[in-house]
């Protein structure tokens, strides 16, 4: 699980959750604007960040498992 620390989370303009498979397919996408609406470009940017973070987690898991 990836999550912002409290200081970052409390200042975020969007609260977004992504659950993805190891092949990049979406299992769950949930998001809320924390003040004003956000645009499609922001959603795409957040999805890209989520995928990058998930790939890092998957690599760490693969290294840890025999």
C-alpha angle 53-20-34 in degrees, rounded to nearest 5: 70
Q: Where are the domains of the chain?
A: 6-64
| H-helix or E-strand spanning residue 19 | strand 14-20
Q: In the structure, what pLDDT confidence band is assigned to residue 4 with cuts at 50, 70 and 90?
A: confident
Confidence of residue 3 (pLDDT cuts 50, 70, 90): confident
What's the whole-model pTM score?
Answer: 0.85
pLDDT at 30: 95
pLDDT digit string, tens, across residues 18-66: 999 999 999 999 999 999 999 999 999 999 999 999 999 999 999 999 8
For residue 34, give the nearest of 5, 3, 12 by alpha carbon: 12
């Amino acid at each position: 699980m990836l999550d912002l620390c409290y200081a970052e989370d409390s200042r975020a303009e969007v609260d977004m959750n992504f659950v993805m498979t190891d092949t990049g397919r979406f299992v769950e996408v949930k998001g809320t604007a924390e003040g004003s609406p956000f645009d499609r470009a922001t959603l795409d940017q957040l999805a890209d960040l989520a995928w990058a973070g998930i790939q890092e987690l998957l690599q760490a898991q693969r290294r840890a498992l025999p």
